Amino acid sequence: MDLQLSGRVAVVTGASKGIGLAVTRTLLDEGARVVAVSRRSTPELEALGGPGLLQVSADLMDPEAPGQIVARAVEAFGGLDVLVNNAGGPPPGVALPRFSFLAPTDEDWRAMFEFNLFSVVRTVRAAIPRMLQRGGGSIVNVSSGGARQAASMNVDYNAAKAGLNNLTKALSEEFGPQGIRVNTVSPGPVRTAWWTEEGGAADIIAAQAGTDRDTVINSVAPEMMRLTTGRLVEPQEVADVIALLASPRSASTTGADFAVDSGFLKEI
């Protein structure tokens, strides 16, 4: 299916690995020109290099970064049509999960909201005027199943993502009549570095459960989270949904939330 993304300009944050890398690759394959934003590059991102890819090093904890990123996109490619706010999860230097409401400090809460909500607010604020100049666009915010599944584990992260869902609805209402669609994609646990790297979620859970990283990824986490498919989500599965929402083929889809979560959310 042609997603009609050829020649369109997209900004993807958190683009160096995991979901963001898969989104970047997918959009490039569809003919889009992509500004790939990350704190550091990776060999996998470097391998995608070509005339349609601009890599921008930026720290989204810096309030000035979002405006600079959008300016680079306009300078390089002449405008902006698609924004994928994928960067999120543990702020730099933080390891999740945390298992109790009492675990995060005030500073932990501030950092979590700065990275997972306020950085999105600033990036959207910078992007919308540029999209309006093009007659519209698509914004996809990567949220989490935890935004709708309250739990004591990662309570600060889940609260930030719940705020992101609310923000997305509000943006879709205000800017939908002007041609800008805004949606969320809510992954469950995804097989990314957050889980798989040394000191990541799998190692933390393994220490609590008295087992090893691979066992957590392959059986403990799917059972603990009651995943219907019995496995973690693959990054490409999330990227495919994001690409469809970015596409004009989704012209009547706005203010919606799409769960790509292996059956994590059980509610109607």
Residue 268 has pLDDT above 90, yes or no: no
pLDDT tens sequence across 33-91: 999 999 999 999 999 999 999 999 999 999 999 999 999 999 999 999 999 999 999 99
Q: What is the mean pLDDT of the chain?
A: 97
Nearest Cα residue to 56 out of 77, 36, 76, 74: 36
- Could you check whether the bond before residue 97 is cis, i.e. omega within 30 degrees of 0? yes
Segments making up each domain of the chain, as ranges: 9-188+233-257
Average pLDDT over residues 219-241: 97
Residue 264, classified by CB atoms within 10 Å of its CB into exposed (0-12), middle (13-18) or buried (19+), is: buried
C-alpha span between 175 and 210 (Å, rounded): 50
pLDDT confidence band for 9 (50 / 70 / 90): very high
Among 118, 157, 194, 258, which one carries the catalytic annotation?
Answer: 157
CA 245 to CA 68: how far, in whole Å?
Answer: 25
Amino acid 243 reads A
| In the chain, alpha helices (H) | 18-29, 43-46, 65-77, 106-113, 119-133, 155-175, 193-196, 201-209, 213-215, 221-224, 235-246
**Which two tokens mark 151?**
């739990």
Confidence of residue 128 (pLDDT cuts 50, 70, 90): very high
Report field, pTM of the whole predicted structure over 0.95: yes
Q: What is the DSSP string of 2-46?
A: --S-TT-EEEEESTTSHHHHHHHHHHHHTT-EEEEEESS--HHHH
pLDDT grade, residue 253 (50/70/90)? very high
| Residue 24 scores a pLDDT above 90 | yes
Does residue 267 register a pLDDT over 90?
no
What band does 103 get if pLDDT is binned at 50, 70 and 90? very high
Predicted pLDDT at 115: 98
Active site residue 157: yes
* Residue 41, pLDDT score: 96
Contact assessment for residue 3 and residue 247, using Cβ atoms and an 8 Å cutoff: yes
Per-residue pLDDT of 175-227, as tens digits, reads: 999 999 999 999 999 999 999 999 999 999 999 999 999 999 999 999 999 99
What superfamily in CATH does domain 9-188+233-257 come from?
NAD(P)-binding Rossmann-like Domain (3.40.50.720)
